[in-house]
């Protein structure tokens, strides 16, 4: 893989992570209203796509923001 291809791949991964972060935050906003800034920052700090996918599923299933936040820390 050339350096240019590696950069493109890294850019794609970063873009996918950013979109997944936005999706998690959007779901939380729709379900629970205003999301505390600290919780938003924790979601934005996560970069691993498998973890972000799990967070999205949990955002859909969580009974409260507190429930979601407890899952975020695990």
**How much is the pLDDT for 44?**
96
- What single DSSP character describes residue 36? P
Tell me 73's DSSP state: T
* Residue 71 confidence (pLDDT): 84
Dist CA 60 CA 74 (whole Å):
17
Domain of 29? 3-72
Q: Any alpha helices (H) in the chain, and if so which ranges?
A: 3-32, 37-45, 49-61, 65-72
Question: How many domains does the structure of the chain reveal?
Answer: 1
> Could you list the pLDDT tens digit for every one of the 74 residues in the chain?
786 666 665 666 667 899 999 999 999 999 999 999 999 999 999 999 999 999 999 999 999 999 999 988 75
Contacts of residue 3, defined as CB under 8 A and 6 or more positions apart, other chains included, come to none
What pLDDT is recorded for position 64? 96
């Amino acid at each position: 893989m050339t350096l240019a291809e590696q950069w493109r791949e890294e850019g794609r991964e970063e873009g996918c992570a950013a979109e997944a972060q936005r999706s998690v935050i959007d779901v939380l906003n729709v379900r629970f209203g205003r999301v505390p800034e600290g919780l938003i920052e924790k979601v934005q700090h996560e970069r691993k796509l498998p973890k972000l996918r799990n967070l999205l599923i949990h955002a859909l299933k969580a009974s409260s923001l507190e429930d979601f936040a407890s899952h975020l820390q695990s």
